[in-house]
Structure 1
Amino acid sequence: MKYYSTNKKAPLATLHEAVVKGLAPDRGLYIPEVIKPLPQSFFEHIEDMSFQEIAFEVAKSFFGEDVEENALKKIVYDTLSFDVPAVKVEDNIYALELFHGPTLAFKDVGARFMARLLQYFVRQEGKEEVNVLVATSGDTGSAVANGFLGVDGIHVYVLYPKGKVSKIQESQFTTLGQNITALEVDGVFDDCQALVKSAFMDKDLNAHMKLTSANSINVARFLPQAFYYFYAYAQMKKKGLADNLVVCVPSGNFGNICAGLFGWKAGLPIKRFIAANNANDIFYNYLKTGEYHPQPSKQTLANAMDVGDPSNFARIYDLFGGSHKAITDLISGATYSDDNIRTTLRDCYERTGYVLDPHGACGYQALKDGLQPGETGVFLETAHPAKFKEKVDAILGTDIAIPERLAAFMRGQKQMTEMPNDFQAFKQFLMKQ
């Protein structure tokens, strides 16, 4: 299968080229030229399949032309060594708990899948080390760092905004060592993302070292997240609740909901989507006005969604042929302030006993506000609330137990390099590696 750039000024690429390059030469994002619909027979029996079985069928549809079947099956089964249950929170509202992977966040699947797929291609080439650059607002860095930890032939550089990720998140990528290097940037997430994109376009750097991305910029990072949506549908079908299914996605850089939309294009029978924003409401305003205006990101309680110019908007826009009507026919939006998030956390906990994290709170509240009679809603609970323990405990008056896998990170020795928000300084650092 070939992949084209959203900017339409780069040659078509193979999956191998799209994964290894990350960003297209014209600074666009790669998209599959064709999205194959999955057969109806797959959906007729999907409720009887395991998460791994479902994911393998979806992976074959997306990647099967470019990866040998046994190798692809091993990648999928190695990636999905955990479950993502749909848990009832209240009538007609379920949380798809995506925090049962190594870093207790939804990005584990995409990161682990990409690490193994990239290694598959690197071994085919038998060439020099590949260097992964990843900007993070919180969970991406930890998921990518842990997904790639110890993978031969790959070195990861994690760029994160100083003072703007939780201590637990920070510990998950600054304490690893080995092939993981953490760079603390004096700026916000958008600055980190801009440094990464500039690096991909720099001729000197690309002559010096082989670079790729592991943000949802990379097609191998965002597309595997579609597995979640198919499995959510299977679980709801098993409960007899798959008709009129609405899925709500807390959204920052929009890679997660973008994967769901690609799943929908492949035939997944979801009625509609809701994109839940925090105070960074750029996409919400686009839905309302038809105009897209990036803004400087605002720091919020839901820090992993603090994105003022979401990269994957370009993919969504292209997927629907630039039609505002086509997008709004399928996707609605919601936006919530920090005060709204606090209120939602308390209300949900007091009424149901369910502990949300700040990002999941946006998804839960958007369903509460937007579900229509006869619909069932699933919101993606994207991270374990313990990853935001200080914030959640302060709001709820709780003392959330920290899972041992998180506690182990926090006992590690922090290793990071301070980096100014300056591309030349970043370039000089990489040129010395």
Structure 2
Amino acid sequence: MKFYSTNNPQHQVSLAKAVIKGLAPDQGLYMPEKIPTLSKDFIANISGLSFQEVGYQVMGALFSEDLTKEEIKDLVDHTIVFDAPIVQVEEGIYSLELFHGPTLAFKDFGARFCSKLMSMLLTGSDKKVRVLVATSGDTGSAVANGFLGVEGVEVIILFPKGKVSELQEKQFTTLGKNIKALEVEGVFDDCQKMVKEAFLDKELNEKLLLTSANSINIARWIPQALYYFYAYSRLPKTNEKVVFSVPSGNFGNIAAGILAQRMGLPIDMFVAATNVNKVVPDYLRGNPFEAMASIPTISNSMDVGNPSNFPRLLVLYGNNEEILKEQVKGYFYTDEETVEVMRKVKSLGYTLDPHGAVGYKGLKDFMAENPGYQGVFLETAHPGKFRDVVEEALEESLVLPERLAAFMTGQKKVEPLENDFQEFKKYLMSLD
């Protein structure tokens, strides 16, 4: 299958080039030239399949032209080594828990898939690949752990100084080996901008083989569709319509849900829930799409003022803004509202992280306005990853899972970086 740029459908490349380059030369995001529709039999019988069996079918539909059945099975088996259960929080409302992977965040799925696929596609190559990653928190830890020790790959993570939780930071700054962390004087959008500029710099790309493992890369983005299929397969079958509420920052996660819908998964509606970085909710409510400077919040992984994946939302709905606004509803919330929700849901016996709280609140508000739905919100990270915020909000101590607690003992290794592309370029040019 070919993959085209969202900025120019005539620009088409192979799977290998789309994955290794990450971003098109015109700064567009790669998309599959056609979106396969899964059979009605598959959807009707999906509840009888395991997570892995769902994965074989979905990834097979997308990648069978480029990968063998054995390679697809290896990819899925490497990716899905932990569960993504749905947990009923209250009547008709379910949490899709995506924090049971190695770094306890939803990005573990995409990062594991991406590292395995990249390693498959690089077999036989003698050139080292540099994976450039901008992170507001969870991407850095998931990618670092997903690529740790992968031969022929060096990961360089840019993160905003003082704007990532201590635990998130420890998960990618203490690993060493082939993982390097650069602490940027700025915000996430500054990190993302420098990464994009690096991909477009001719001199850099002549010297180095650069790629991305952010959700702009199809190998990180596409596999996220899997847990929408799996969550649907585990939902009680009722006559109600289905809505998924997705806490959103760079909008790759909700775009993966829409991809699943385009492939035939019967999701009736999406809720895009954000913090006060509300560019997309404003757009969905009738305003022009206008990037903004990002605002720091307690749900820091969503502190994105210029979401990279927004073009994917448009092309998935045939560039029809009217259909997009009919199928996706936007809501945004302040830190105060987020804390209030965390406290309320704790009284129901369930502990939310601040991102899941935003997703839950968006779902509740949508369902109050639109009766007749069964709802799922994505709980994208374990509450322990945002321990300080959660403990302060709930006024109680959290017990960290062993995997998280282990990261806290590591020694932080970072290099400071000015918010200046030329300084970043100088750093990259100095690499062997």
The aligned residue for residue 310 of structure 2 is 313
Q: 1:66, CA displacement in angstroms? A: 0.9
| Equivalent runs, 1:151-230 vs 2, <5 Å | 151-230=150-229
- Inter-CA distance 105–2: structure 2 relative to 1 (3 Å threshold): same
The aligned residue for residue 61 of structure 2 is 61
Given that 1:10 and 1:26 are in contact with CA atoms closer than 8 Å, whether structure 2 keeps it comes out as no
The aligned residue for residue 19 of structure 2 is 19
Matched, 1:358 2:347: no
- Inter-CA distance 333–112: structure 2 relative to 1 (3 Å threshold): same
Q: How far apart in 2 are the matches of 1:290 and 1:21?
A: 33
Q: 1:127, CA displacement in angstroms? A: 2.8
The aligned residue for residue 83 of structure 2 is 83
- Inter-CA distance 37–184: structure 2 relative to 1 (3 Å threshold): same
* TM-superposition CA deviations, 1:244-296 (whole Å, max 9, x none): 11100000000000001011000000111000010000000101125100000
| Equivalent runs, 1:124-139 vs 2, <5 Å | 125-139=124-138
Matched, 1:413 2:411: yes
Matched, 1:369 2:365: yes
| Equivalent runs, 1:382-421 vs 2, <5 Å | 382-421=380-419
Normalising by the residue count of structure 1, what TM-score does the alignment of the two structures yield?
0.98
- The alignment of Structure 1 onto Structure 2 pairs a total of residues equal to 429
Matched, 1:344 2:364: no
Q: Which amino acid aligns with 2:158?
A: L
Q: Which amino acid aligns with 1:382?
A: T
Q: 1:242, CA displacement in angstroms? A: 7.3
The aligned residue for residue 93 of structure 2 is 93
- Inter-CA distance 77–44: structure 2 relative to 1 (3 Å threshold): same
Normalising by the residue count of structure 2, what TM-score does the alignment of the two structures yield?
0.98
- Inter-CA distance 253–307: structure 2 relative to 1 (3 Å threshold): same
**Unaligned regions of 5+ residues in structure 2, if any?**
none
Q: How far apart in 2 are the matches of 1:56 and 1:242?
A: 28
Q: Which amino acid aligns with 1:410?
A: M
Q: Which amino acid aligns with 2:209?
A: K
Q: 1:78, CA displacement in angstroms? A: 1.2
Q: Which amino acid aligns with 2:396?
A: T
Given that 1:357 and 1:381 are in contact with CA atoms closer than 8 Å, whether structure 2 keeps it comes out as yes
| Equivalent runs, 1:247-326 vs 2, <5 Å | 247-326=244-323
Q: Which amino acid aligns with 1:143?
A: A
Q: How far apart in 1 are the matches of 2:92 and 2:373?
A: 7
Q: 1:323, CA displacement in angstroms? A: 1.8
* TM-superposition CA deviations, 1:64-89 (whole Å, max 9, x none): 21112101111111111000100000
Q: How far apart in 2 are the matches of 1:62 and 1:188?
A: 35
* TM-superposition CA deviations, 1:347-399 (whole Å, max 9, x none): 1112x011000000011011111113221100000000000000100010111
Q: How far apart in 2 are the matches of 1:432 and 1:68?
A: 39
The aligned residue for residue 51 of structure 1 is 51
What secondary structure does 2:87 align onto? strand
Q: 1:318, CA displacement in angstroms? A: 1.9
Q: Which amino acid aligns with 1:324?
A: E
- Inter-CA distance 15–77: structure 2 relative to 1 (3 Å threshold): same
What secondary structure does 1:12 align onto? strand
In the alignment, which of 323, 326, 331 is matched to residue 328 of structure 2? 331
Q: 1:9, CA displacement in angstroms? A: 7.0
Across the aligned residues of Structure 1 and Structure 2, the Cα RMSD in angstroms comes to 1.0
What secondary structure does 1:206 align onto? helix
Q: 1:10, CA displacement in angstroms? A: 6.3
Q: How far apart in 1 are the matches of 2:81 and 2:163?
A: 30
Q: How far apart in 2 are the matches of 1:283 and 1:24?
A: 23
Q: How far apart in 1 are the matches of 2:309 and 2:182?
A: 24
The aligned residue for residue 146 of structure 1 is 145
Given that 1:10 and 1:24 are in contact with CA atoms closer than 8 Å, whether structure 2 keeps it comes out as no
What secondary structure does 2:144 align onto? helix
- Inter-CA distance 241–382: structure 2 relative to 1 (3 Å threshold): farther
* TM-superposition CA deviations, 1:97-138 (whole Å, max 9, x none): 000000000000000000000000000x42301110000000
Q: How far apart in 2 are the matches of 1:197 and 1:10?
A: 21
Given that 1:290 and 1:324 are in contact with CA atoms closer than 8 Å, whether structure 2 keeps it comes out as no
Q: Which amino acid aligns with 1:137?
A: S
Q: Which runs of 4+ in 1 moved over 3 A?
A: none
- Inter-CA distance 381–106: structure 2 relative to 1 (3 Å threshold): same
What secondary structure does 2:246 align onto? strand
Q: 1:11, CA displacement in angstroms? A: 2.5
Q: How far apart in 1 are the matches of 2:239 and 2:117?
A: 32
Q: How far apart in 1 are the matches of 2:238 and 2:209?
A: 47
